[in-house]
Amino acid sequence: MTASDHARGLARIAAAAADSKQAEDLVALDVSGPLPLTDIFLLASGRNERNVLAIAAEVEDKLNEAGVKTLRREGRAEGRWVLLDFGDLVVHVFHEEDRMYYSLERLWKDCPVVPLELPQPAPADS
């Protein structure tokens, strides 16, 4: 089983939203094989608690604007690891240290990576 086109579209919207708030190390994993409840995990890192919360808020706002309902959210009070569940897509926004500690990429290493098409930054004028 592979992630649906719908889930891939949601991951692109979420990744672009996270990227717009300076999320780092964006990775999407197709977890549809081992997990029957969701298709894709999107992992992102923030530099500090404020950045983690800003990334999570932007992702939630952009997906809600696209007509996708947030089914569950966890971790906003602490700002270290925010989980946003949109059904076909689950977004994990980590503080850098927590991401290294929990190492979800290692836990789900057998799952294929979903390519993300992020906007390219404009070249700086010299």
CA atoms within a 13 Å half-sphere pointing along the CA-CB vector of 116: 25
* Structural domains of the chain ordered from first start: 5-114 (3.30.460.10)
| pLDDT per residue as tens digits for the range 71-80 | 999 998 888 9
pLDDT in 10s for each residue of the chain, 126 residues = 688 999 999 999 999 999 999 999 999 999 999 988 999 999 999 999 999 999 999 999 999 999 999 999 999 888 899 999 999 999 999 999 999 999 999 999 999 999 998 776 656 555
* % of the chain surpassing 70 pLDDT: 93
| Contacts of 30 by beta carbon, 8 Å cutoff, 6+ apart | 2, 3, 39, 40, 111, 112, 113, 114
